[in-house]
Structure 1
Amino acid sequence: MNKVFAAIEQHKNHLAEHSFCQHLRNSEYPDKSIFSFVPLMSFFVLGFRDLLEYLRVPFPSNQTEFLLNEHCTEDSDHWLWFLHDLETLELPDSAWGGEKFSDSLHLIWAPQNAAIRRQIYDIIVLINNCKNAQEKLVIIECLEAAFAAFIESLNVLTKRMGVYQQLVYFGEHHYDKESEHTMGSWLDSAEPKTKKAARAEGTIRSSQMEQMIDDIFQGFEAMFSCWEKGIETSQQDSVRVAWLQ
């Protein structure tokens, strides 16, 4: 079980060094175009809302199941924060693929962005393969760790741009709420990991969980690459427009 804890932490640290996260942290003179990855997040953020429903235990009967459901409830309205920030950012039509709604759908479901959609589909399969709430908690820890790698890098950018407190999903509000979860982090709670490992012994299939963790973070690596490509494409388009003018 200790290998499961260590694997998540290792993957989180590796994901934080993805070139996308480095781009967010290291952009010294960013403008709004750096948020061009946001439309590409739409499928995952809205799909995440459904993941929470799949993670729930319909009729909880023990403390772990109740805590799992409570965590899902606490995260269930985050997609609304995302919609709020879409209005605040007021990204140009070009970031959404064009002026028409159909252009936006084409962008979100484009073949080059398949990795974003696949991450949701693959996690649903993994959820369905979980044998109990403890194994579902491993998935939640992976999701929380991946978000931490992303938001901690984004915080550097939003603070530099002076929008950290203005944005809800992408700013201070979301970051603070993640730190205030009633459940807290299964990995970061005060209970020593050795005790958690002993308590989970026999309830979690460690080898299967280790493979699942690898698969989830491999999906995030691919998804981050898609988001980074969105920034690069937007910046290239901006240079092209400026040259034509």
Structure 2
Amino acid sequence: MKLSVINMQEVLALIEQKKQEYAQLPLFDFMQNKTINPRQRLAWAPCAAHFIMNFGELNKYFLRVEPTSDPIQTLINRHTYEDDHHWLWFLEDLKNLELDRSLKFTDALKFLWSEETKNARWLNYQLYRYSSQATPIQKIIVIEVTEATGNIMFSTAAEIGKEIKAITQKPCRYFADFHLDVETGHTTGASGIEGILQHIQLSEVTRQEALELVENLFTAFTQFTNELLVYAETHKIEQQLKAAEILEQAF
């Protein structure tokens, strides 16, 4: 029996739909609430560390395949080289936001593998799962979903970064226009993948698998993002800084 074919545009349309739904999550209302201290609106940053620090690994060891003769994989490879080092900017911002003070290494490890950060870890595991042994098309979907959620997050965070710089005179790089501009400048559309995707035809079976992948990834990103809000609302930055100062003075 001959399988029907469906253009990849249907998958991309679902990603756009889910992106708009993702943008309505409560975290982004919290981040845009200017009655809250701007540093508090990024208080979730430590909770995101497991995901952010593993993102480079995802690009290096799961999405990238070299050597390759596949034109789509070649574009994916190029994309991974642009995305595998952003964690360095994250570490800079943690210092400038004073979110890395007076925490023992063992305490940091306990936190990264705690209940508070379980959805960050789960997101990583899902991304690894769906990227390992994946076809180039499946990897494209992983990238497209990650780019879509990242665009919402970074466009919101960049505005907070501006506020923090105006107050502290310390620039952010991860939570800033700098990062947003880099992301916007190397989106899959800009690197040529979008043009190729528009001409890809999927069998009905592959189409269904692709749509399910989009749904599953957005579910994982949503759980992760909701976890960030809980952390930001329950961990007061000023209290943590005062406690750190007292501890530092004691020694």
Normalised by the length of structure 1, the TM-score is 0.83
Residues 32, 91 of structure 1: 8 Å contact kept: no
Normalised by the length of structure 2, the TM-score is 0.82
Amino acid of the structure 1 residue aligned with 2:22: L
Q: Does 1:83 align with 2:91?
A: yes
Corresponding residue pairs, total:
231
Amino acid of the structure 2 residue aligned with 1:6: A
Unpaired stretches in structure 2, ≥5 consecutive residues: 1-7, 244-251
Residues 165, 171 of structure 1: 8 Å contact kept: no
Candidates 164, 171, 177, aligned match of 1:166: 171
Moved more, 101-110 or 67-76: 101-110
Candidates 29, 41, 49, aligned match of 1:34: 41
Candidates 142, 149, 154, aligned match of 2:152: 149
Distance 1:236 1:178, change over 3 A: closer
Identity of aligned residues (%): 26
Give me the whole-angstrom Cα distance separating, in 2, the residues matched to 1:85 and 1:238: 19
Find the counterpart in structure 2 of residue 230 from structure 1: 231
Residues 47, 112 of structure 2: 8 Å contact kept: yes
Candidates 74, 80, 83, aligned match of 1:72: 80
User: For 1:173-209, what per-residue CA distance to the aligned partner results, in whole angstroms no more than 9, with x for missing partners?
Assistant: 11111122175457995x4xxx844x21148921101
Q: CA RMSD in A?
A: 2.8
Give me the whole-angstrom Cα distance separating, in 2, the residues matched to 1:174 and 1:223: 20
Shift of residue 236, structure 1, vs aligned partner: 9.2
Find the counterpart in structure 2 of residue 201 from structure 1: 201
Q: Does 1:48 align with 2:40?
A: no
Find the counterpart in structure 2 of residue 126 from structure 1: 130
Shift of residue 61, structure 1, vs aligned partner: 0.3
Find the counterpart in structure 1 of residue 11 from structure 2: 4
Give me the whole-angstrom Cα distance separating, in 2, the residues matched to 1:158 and 1:188: 30
Distance 1:15 1:165, change over 3 A: farther
Secondary structure, counterpart of 1:149 in structure 2: helix
The residue correspondences of 1:212-231 to structure 2 (distance < 5 A) are: 212-231=213-232
Shift of residue 167, structure 1, vs aligned partner: 0.8
Give me the whole-angstrom Cα distance separating, in 1, the residues matched to 2:39 and 2:89: 19
